[in-house]
C-alpha cells in the first residue's frame, strides 16, 4: 500500500536526530480557567448536558486558544504536535451526548493543528509533523468493571474498533501526518484500535505512520490490564508501528526501567513522554522543566529513545528544556531482533533454542476431555478454570482451548471462557491457543485476547482463496498460526503429501500474505497408530520424517501436533499411552518438532520407561516390525490400570 511522502520524511528525520513531541494539552487548557459558558460558546449554548471538562470540544468553541497552545509547543521546539482529540471517540464523547460530533471534532482538531504547524514552519523554517491523537477511551475491553462478574465486559472489541476507525478517518481527512494510539492501559483496546486503523488504511488506499504508547500506572511494572512491557510489545508488534513506547503514568523516573525493557526488544523507534513527575496531593505535577529534562536527557544519553516529549503537567518550558537537553544527542539505534516465535499472555513467551519443546495444554478441550466437556455444559466455569490452572501448574506453557461440541454454542462458550481466563492472572499469564474448526469461533476468541495468541488452525482444505483470506485476518489480529497439512484433496497422511502441502502453504503465507515465517506452526497430522489397520502403521514415521524435511526447508517455522491422537487405540491404558507419547516425542523432537498439544505433566521420561515396553512402543512408532502392533497389544495387558497418576 502507498506510503505517504511524509512517512519517508519522518523516518529520515528520526534516523538523524531525537525528535521532540509536544507537551500536555490538558495542563495548558486548565490555565485558561474556561467556564461552562466558554466551553459552550454560542453554538452549544442550549446543549442539554454540562460541557465543562470536555476539553476536545474547545477545537470548535475556543479554536484560538487551542491553536495558540500548538504554536507555543512549536516555538518551544516540538517537531511533532498532537491534536486535541484525546477523548474524541464515540465511546468517550458519550459522556456528553456528543457522539455525533466525533467526525467534526477530529477533522477540525486536525485542521487546526496542521494550520499551526504550517504557520510555525513559515516562521521558523523548521518542519513540524502533526500526530492525530487517539486516546484509550474510558472503557476497557479485557477487564470487568463488576468484581462479582469477572466475565462481564462494558465494551466490545467491535465497538472499540469502529470507534477508533471513525476517529482515525476524520483525523486523516483533516490532514494529520501520523496517528498516535496513546495512553494504552489495556492492550486489547489498542489491538481493536489497530484493526480499525488497518481497515481505514485499506479503505483509503494509503498508510500513515502509527505511534503506539502504553502506560504503566502501578509500581509492579504492569499495565492496568496486567501485562509486562515485553508482553505488551509482543501483542502489538504485528502492526509494524512507527514507534512503540510509554507515556503519562508516574513520571520519567518510574518509567525508566520499563522503557529500557521496551527499548531492548523493540525493532522499531521508541518514544517516551512521561508526566512531569508523580502527581502531588492536589493531583498536580510539579517537576520543573530543568529537572524533567535531566531525566529525559539521561534516557537519550543511554540510547533508549528516538522521540521524547511530555504528558500531564508538562508545558512549553518543559518541552523547551527537553529539546535543548537532547539536541545533538544520538538517537537510539534500532536493534536487530532474532526472528523467534514471540507470544504473550500477561507475560511474554519466546520460543528460544534453549526451550526445544513447548508444552501446549490439551485438557481445556470439550472434545478431548469428558470432564471439561461436562463442566462447560453444566456451566461450572469455576471448576473449568481449575482445569486450565492445573495445566499451567503442571508445566503447560500455552493452553489450547476448544469448545467445538455439537450441543454447545461454541462461539459463546469460547468468549465466556476466555473472558473468565483473562480475570485469572495465574492462568492468563501464559499465551492462549484458540482451537476450533470454525473460523468464526476463532475470530470471536481473538477479540477477547489482549496477548499474542496462536490460532489453531487454518488450512487449504477449502482452497487457496479462503486460506489467504483467513490468514490475512489472523495476521491482522496479530496471532501466530497453526497450519494443518490439509488441502483440497484431503488430509495429508504420507510423508510426501505432508511436505508438499506445508511447502505450498509456506510459500503462500510468506509471499502472498506477508506472514513472518517464525509465526507459522505446521501440524503435519499425528494419526493413531497400532489400530489394526495396516495402512496406519507408518503414520508415526511419516510425521517424524515430514517434520525433519519441513524444518530443513524452512528453518524458522515450527512443528506441532496433537500428541495424544497417536495412542487412541490404547484408550484406557494410560501407562501404555504415556510410553507411546514419550517414545514418539523423543524421536519427533530430535527431528525438529518443537511444540505439541499434550497432557501437560503426564509425559513420562524416555529413559524411565520400562525397557521392554519402550522397545515395543518404539517398534510401533517407528514401524520397525510387521508384528509390532500385536506385540504391543499383548504387552499392554500387563500394564493395564497403571500409570494413571501424575508423572513429572
- The strand order across the sheet containing 269-274 reads 19-20, 307-308, 269-274, 243-248, 210-214, 178-184, 129-134, 80-82
**Smallest distance from the beta carbon of 186 to ligand THG, in angstroms?**
29
CA 342 – CA 519 distance, rounded (Å): 8
273 in Cβ contact with 213 (< 8 Å): yes
- State yes or no: residue 643 binds ligand THG (CB under 6 A): no
Among 562, 592, 596, 628, indicate the residue that binds ligand THG (CB under 6 A): 562
At its nearest, how many Å lie between ligand THG and the CB of residue 368? 2
CB closer to ligand THG out of 207 and 564: 564
Q: What are phi and psi of 507, to 5 degrees?
A: -60, -45
- Map the footprint of ligand THG across residues 387-426, applying CB under 6 A: 402
Count of residues that interact with ligand THG, criterion CB under 6 A: 19
Identify which of residues 228 and 457 has a Cβ nearer to ligand THG in the complex.
457
If binding is defined by CB under 6 A, does position 526 make contact with ligand THG?
yes
Q: Which 271-330 positions form the footprint of ligand THG (CB under 6 A)? A: none
Smallest distance, ligand THG to C-beta of residue 362, A = 4
433's enclosing H/E stretch is strand 432-435
136 vs 368 by CB, closer to ligand THG: 368
> Residue 435 or residue 619: which is nearer to ligand THG going by CB?
435
Of 192-200, 234-242, 363-371, 512-520: span binding ligand THG (CB under 6 A):
363-371
- Closest CB to ligand THG among residues 298, 386: 386
368 lies in the binding site for ligand THG (CB under 6 A): yes
**Do residues 380 and 373 make contact, with C-beta atoms less than 8 angstroms apart?**
no
Q: How many CA atoms lie within 13 A of 227 on its CB side?
A: 32
Told to check if 441 binds ligand THG by CB under 6 A, we report no
574 binds ligand THG (CB under 6 A): no
Tell me, letter by letter, the H, E, C secondary structure of 242-256: CEEEEEECCCHHHHH
Instruction: Decide: residue 281, CB within 10 A, 0-12 exposed, 13-18 middle, 19+ buried.
Output: exposed
Tell me how crowded residue 24 is: count the other CB atoms within 10 A of its CB.
26
Is 235:191 a contact under the CB 8 Å cutoff? yes
**Interface stretch with ligand THG, choices 13-21, 193-201, 260-268, 560-568 (CB under 6 A):** 560-568
- Bridge partner residues of 595 (DSSP): 358
* Choice from 123, 126, 374, 571 touching ligand THG (CB under 6 A): 571
By CB under 6 A, tell whether 365 contacts ligand THG: yes
Among 108, 177, 362, 594, binds ligand THG (CB under 6 A): 362
Which of the residues 143 through 172 are near ligand THG (CB under 6 A)? none
Q: What are φ and ψ of residue 34, in 5° steps?
A: -65, 140
Euclidean distance between CA atoms 87 and 69, whole angstroms: 18
Q: Which of 1, 147, 370, 407 binds ligand THG (CB under 6 A)?
A: 370
Of 255, 235, 238, give the one whose Cα is nearest residue 348: 235
Name which position in 437, 565, 610, 615 contacts ligand THG (CB under 6 A). Answer: 565
Give the count of beta carbons closer than 10 Å to the beta carbon of residue 52: 14
CA 102-103-109 angle, to 5 degrees, is: 90
457: contact with ligand THG by CB under 6 A = yes
The greatest distance separating any two alpha carbons of the chain, rounded to the nearest whole angstrom, comes to: 92
Nearer to ligand THG by Cβ, of 91 and 526: the residue is 526
Q: Does position 83 bind ligand THG by CB under 6 A?
A: no
If one asks whether residue 564 binds ligand THG (CB under 6 A), the answer comes out as: yes
Alpha helices, DSSP H, located in 554-602: 574-591
463-492 residues in contact with ligand THG (CB under 6 A) are: 482
Q: Which stretch binds ligand THG (CB under 6 A): 86-94, 158-166, 556-564, 584-592?
A: 556-564
Query: Residues of 402-412 as b/e, b for ≥16 C-beta within 10 angstroms?
Result: bbbbeeeebbe
CB of 570 to ligand THG, least distance (A): 9
Helix, strand, or coil here: 43?
Answer: coil
Q: Which residues bind ligand THG (CB under 6 A)?
A: 362, 365, 368-371, 402, 435, 456-457, 482, 523, 526, 561-562, 564-565, 571, 597
Amino acid at each position: 500500500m502507498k506510503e505517504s511522502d511524509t512517512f519517508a520524511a519522518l523516518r529520515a528525520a528520526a534516523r538523524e536526530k531525537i525528535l521532540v513531541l509536544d507537551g500536555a494539552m490538558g495542563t495548558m487548557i486548565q490555565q485558561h480557567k474556561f467556564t461552562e459558558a466558554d466551553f459552550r460558546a454560542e453554538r452549544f449554548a442550549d446543549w442539554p448536558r454540562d460541557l465543562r471538562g470536555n476539553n476536545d470540544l474547545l477545537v470548535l468553541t475556543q479554536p484560538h486558544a487551542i491553536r495558540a497552545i500548538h504554536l507555543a509547543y512549536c516555538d518551544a521546539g516540538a517537531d511533532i504536535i498532537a491534536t486535541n482529540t484525546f477523548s474524541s471517540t464515540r465511546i468517550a464523547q458519550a459522556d456528553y451526548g456528543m457522539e455525533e460530533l466525533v467526525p467534526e471534532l477530529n477533522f477540525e482538531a486536525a485542521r487546526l493543528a496542521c494550520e499551526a504547524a504550517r504557520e510555525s514552519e513559515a516562521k521558523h523554517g523548521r518542519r513540524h509533523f502533526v500526530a492525530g491523537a487517539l486516546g484509550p477511551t474510558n472503557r476497557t475491553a479485557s477487564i470487568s468493571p463488576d468484581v462479582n462478574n469477572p466475565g462481564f465486559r462494558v465494551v466490545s472489541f467491535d465497538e472499540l474498533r469502529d470507534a477508533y476507525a471513525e476517529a482515525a478517518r476524520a483525523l486523516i481527512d483533516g490532514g494529520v501526518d501520523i496517528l498516535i494510539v496513546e495512553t494504552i492501559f489495556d492492550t486489547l483496546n489498542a489491538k481493536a484500535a489497530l484493526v480499525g486503523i488497518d481497515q481505514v488504511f485499506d479503505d483509503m488506499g494509503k498508510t500513515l505512520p502509527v505511534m503506539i504508547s502504553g502506560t504503566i500506572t502501578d509500581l509492579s511494572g504492569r499495565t492496568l490490564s496486567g501485562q509486562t512491557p515485553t508482553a505488551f510489545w509482543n501483542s502489538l508488534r504485528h502492526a509494524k508501528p512507527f514507534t512503540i513506547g510509554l507515556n503519562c503514568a508516574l513520571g520519567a523516573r518510574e518509567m525508566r526501567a520499563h522503557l529500557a525493557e521496551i527499548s531492548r526488544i523493540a525493532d522499531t523507534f521508541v518514544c517516551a513522554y512521561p508526566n512531569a513527575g508523580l502527581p502531588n496531593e492536589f493531583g498536580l505535577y510539579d517537576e520543573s522543566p530543568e529537572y524533567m529534562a535531566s531525566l529525559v536527557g539521561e534516557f537519550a544519553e543511554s540510547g533508549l529513545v528516538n522521540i521524547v516529549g511530555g504528558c500531564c503537567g508538562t508545558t512549553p518550558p518543559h518541552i523547551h528544556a527537553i529539546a535543548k537537553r537532547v539536541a545533538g544527542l544520538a538517537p537510539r539505534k534500532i536493534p536487530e531482533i532474532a526472528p523467534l516465535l514471540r507470544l504473550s499472555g500477561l507475560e511474554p513467551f519466546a520460543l528460544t533454542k534453549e526451550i526445544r519443546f513447548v508444552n501446549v495444554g490439551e485438557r481445556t478441550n470439550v472434545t478431548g476431555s469428558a470432564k471439561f466437556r461436562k463442566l462447560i455444559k453444566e456451566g461450572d466455569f469455576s471448576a473449568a478454570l481449575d482445569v486450565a490452572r492445573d495445566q499451567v501448574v503442571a508445566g503447560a506453557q500455552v493452553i489450547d482451548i476448544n469448545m467445538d461440541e455439537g450441543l454447545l454454542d461454541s462461539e459463546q462458550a469460547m468468549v465466556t471462557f476466555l473472558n473468565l481466563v483473562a480475570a485469572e492472572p495465574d492462568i492468563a499469564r501464559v499465551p492462549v491457543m484458540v482451537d476450533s474448526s470454525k473460523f468464526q469461533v476463532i475470530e470471536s476468541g481473538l477479540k477477547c485476547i489482549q496477548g499474542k495468541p496462536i490460532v489453531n488452525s487454518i488450512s487449504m482444505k477449502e482452497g487457496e482463496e479462503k486460506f489467504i483470506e483467513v490468514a490475512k485476518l489472523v495476521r491482522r489480529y496479530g496471532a501466530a498460526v497453526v497450519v494443518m497439512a490439509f488441502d483440497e484433496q484431503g488430509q495429508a497422511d504420507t510423508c510426501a503429501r505432508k511436505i508438499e502441502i506445508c511447502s505450498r502453504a509456506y510459500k503462500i503465507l510468506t509471499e502472498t500474505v506477508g506472514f513472518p515465517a517464525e509465526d507459522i506452526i505446521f501440524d503435519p497430522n499425528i494419526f493413531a497408530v497400532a489400530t489394526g489397520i495396516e495402512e496406519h502403521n507408518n503414520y508415526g514415521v511419516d510425521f517424524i520424517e515430514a517434520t525433519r524435511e519441513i524444518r530443513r526447508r524452512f528453518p524458522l517455522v515450527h512443528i506441532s501436533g496433537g500428541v495424544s491422537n497417536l495412542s487412541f487405540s490404547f484408550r484406557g491404558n494410560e501407562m501404555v499411552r504415556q510410553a507411546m507419547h514419550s517414545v514418539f516425542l523423543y524421536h519427533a523432537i530430535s527431528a525438529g518438532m518443537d511444540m505439541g498439544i499434550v497432557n501437560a505433566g503426564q509425559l513420562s521420561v524416555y529413559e524411565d520407561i520400562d525397557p521392554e515396553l519402550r522397545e515395543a512402543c518404539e517398534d510401533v512408532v517407528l514401524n520397525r516390525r510387521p508384528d509390532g502392533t500385536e506385540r504391543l497389544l499383548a504387552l499392554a495387558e500387563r500394564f493395564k490400570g497403571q500409570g494413571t497418576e501424575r508423572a513429572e
